[in-house]
Structure 1
């Protein structure tokens, strides 16, 4: 009788509604008005408008994006020790969204001071560094939110799919809006600067509305036993979370590949294929693949599991990367085809990364009894920032070694080949490393189900 009256009845988890999925997609769309804008266009802005050399810009990317990674760890601790009447994560969207968007405007408003490299480089470091800090204080709560909204694996996969759809919609829109500006204002840095200022100001207004929609629709429903997590509890959970560490290391390799390609994609369209407007087609094919992949990921997860699906998409990326570098510039449709195949790979890998990261939160709670969504996602995001730093720097150094000259009407054959290799062969090397590292990932669907059941039983036990 004592046991029977002490154990709480099992309550079926509340299912997420359409508004929650759409709101979550809107949040990543808002994030990418700043994040994807810098990933795709900041290097060409620095080299062709501000007048910073490709090598100096590569060093800037490496330094600032590593700084961003440590900003993520700081943001993770802030999140873990926060609890308000709006929940743990939602207040950050309400109060942090506008500063991120305004700092994005500032990052693309660095004056191109003639014969004065020092001041403009310092201003570039300052604006991009502040953007990274503000972005961490919004993105870490956003990424952590998924693990607090549901524990149902299929719903987590669906949230990850909607997140990627939000990314895809924003990235494709950026290509349609910014690519014509690159072509129109080639050789006219002042005109390109004015156009980007108007564009980023419009993005700030749109992004604020998206953040408010996320705030209004998001709900934190997963039970937690410790509301305000201490620093010791946070880092103890990280120390014992082997699946998280393995996921981070493998993801670092995949993301280095992705950001290397993203950084030079605009150069590939303009200088290899000969027309910057083709960036729109490349982006639609590579990023638009998410609209095909996203509905398939939950089904694929049910059929073969997250781990096997992740490895499968990695192998597809190997094939696509080789094709991108070897495609003859005289036949752009071949390059477009391989960019589309690479899009399938990156869409699948990125979608599964988010679902896998949420699962590692459960592993940490299973091992320690404490849910630490903030610091867990922060470490994963730190990995993403390192991938962005290394990938962006490798791409910038590659085209610098090839002799790329910012603002030149035409580039040398060596520079064009460097762009081709940074777009394909460099990603192939890092994708292969990621596949080899992830092959030993231990957290399968069966292990996950056992963990969640044991955690629930421990919570309801007398």
Structure 2
């Protein structure tokens, strides 16, 4: 298939940054409940690990149901004022902030029963993650709107987002725990989390209002009623996914990867607070990890470009497997080994992130080209499904896994418990990434050249259809 030059599709760097920076800062907001939420429930709200695991299982099942239908809802929603994706980006800006905050409010003073506190947290957990279904799909759609069919601009936007994310991670890694500790001394140990999140959330809202929203208005214009009416039915959207073999393979690859990551991430806090008994060292890890992630993000685009999409996926999975095995074998007795492997995991993730959204966009372009139905929004929704399954299965595995190995709040850590913890912490994620590696080697078939050809032809088809409405 021939390559098509895309000179007419250009974006200014400030426009790319107007999307990348607010999205990166949004991670500072929602990562706080993701990283500390489980520990907050067990340590400050008096909720047992088993009850937490059950709540995570139920809420994440509900979350997954919402994720299934998010794309069809976006496709069928009509606004005279905002574009298809811009509308949901606006809505979820506010649900992201307030739902993250309210998960970390100390309710022990006004909700007496632990089950009541658990229900309160679960409601706002759902608010955050339900909204993230729509936000993640809309972020991918916005990239498609801004870049058009240009694979180079799509790669550039993905790479720049990864670089800005890494830079912001350095800052957040260095200041999050110190801020939590500082506010804890002023307002009580359990209140430091919420006050820190308010600061991060205020920055996120300002950047969204002044940078992200104006760019969305320019590139994602409101649709006409006829255009909305012409979208595929919900049944056709789901059929387009089931019949798209490359989408099915991509779904299973990223699901395995995400479950492994979502087991490892919340257990970091337990590793430092419970197993090693030194939560303050986590600040050092997050700072070093953030610096490493930023440095990796600078070189990752060149590496990813040389490897191609399939090669980048294979390399990233193989490196992650090596790192998680290293954490399992050496992390218990050698904290610096854990730090080194955690940094390399960020490196592998930086390479994957160069194409993260593009993988699903490519599958959507392939489906549109082969069927004639534009279900790219649905393809981007499928991108959310592995994330939701990752939170569901990973969160449940953490809760039940901790209960299974005998964790209780304030327990005395024994060598037997510590070794079992490291199996959960390192070996299990390695096994899950192995599934990703095998599927990437033997099942994923779309080439970069094919993806570019499909996107170009689909762009022509879309323009022609709009001209007939």
Distance in 2 between residues matched to 1:400 and 1:350, nearest whole Å: 33
Distance in 2 between residues matched to 1:325 and 1:13, nearest whole Å: 50
- RMSD between superposed Cα atoms in Å: 3.1
Q: Deviations over 1:174-196 (max 9, x none)?
A: 4333323676799x998222212
Offset of 1:460 from its aligned partner?
A: 7.8
Residues 6 and 150, structure 2, Cα contact 8 Å, conserved in 1:
no
Residue from 76, 80, 85 that aligns with 2:75: 80
1:357 corresponds in structure 2 to: 360
Q: Deviations over 1:223-280 (max 9, x none)?
A: x998422324422432332222211111000011111110101122233344212212
Residues 405 and 420, structure 2, Cα contact 8 Å, conserved in 1:
yes
1:333 corresponds in structure 2 to: 336
1:109 corresponds in structure 2 to: 105
The structure-2 alpha-carbon separation of the partners of 1:260 and 1:287, relative to structure 1 and needing over 3 Å to count, comes to farther
Q: Deviations over 1:293-317 (max 9, x none)?
A: 3333432343231101110111111
In the alignment, structure 1 residue 371 sits paired with structure 2 residue 374: yes
Offset of 1:173 from its aligned partner?
A: 3.8
Within 5 Å, give how 1:370-449 maps onto structure 2.
370-408=373-411, 410-439=412-441, 440-449=443-452
In the alignment, structure 1 residue 24 sits paired with structure 2 residue 23: no
In the alignment, structure 1 residue 305 sits paired with structure 2 residue 308: yes
Deviates more, 1:98-107 or 1:171-180: 171-180
The structure-2 alpha-carbon separation of the partners of 1:137 and 1:460, relative to structure 1 and needing over 3 Å to count, comes to closer
In the alignment, structure 1 residue 37 sits paired with structure 2 residue 63: no
Aligned residues: 451
2:161 corresponds in structure 1 to: 163
Distance in 1 between residues matched to 2:310 and 2:343, nearest whole Å: 23
Normalising by structure 2, what TM-score? 0.86
In the alignment, structure 1 residue 91 sits paired with structure 2 residue 87: yes
Residues 320 and 345, structure 2, Cα contact 8 Å, conserved in 1:
yes
Deviates more, 1:225-234 or 1:20-29: 225-234
Normalising by structure 1, what TM-score? 0.87
Within 5 Å, give how 1:139-154 maps onto structure 2.
139-150=136-147, 151-154=149-152
The structure-2 alpha-carbon separation of the partners of 1:421 and 1:88, relative to structure 1 and needing over 3 Å to count, comes to same
Offset of 1:431 from its aligned partner?
A: 0.4
1:215 corresponds in structure 2 to: 213
In the alignment, structure 1 residue 201 sits paired with structure 2 residue 198: yes
The structure-2 alpha-carbon separation of the partners of 1:418 and 1:227, relative to structure 1 and needing over 3 Å to count, comes to farther
Deviates more, 1:123-132 or 1:317-326: 123-132
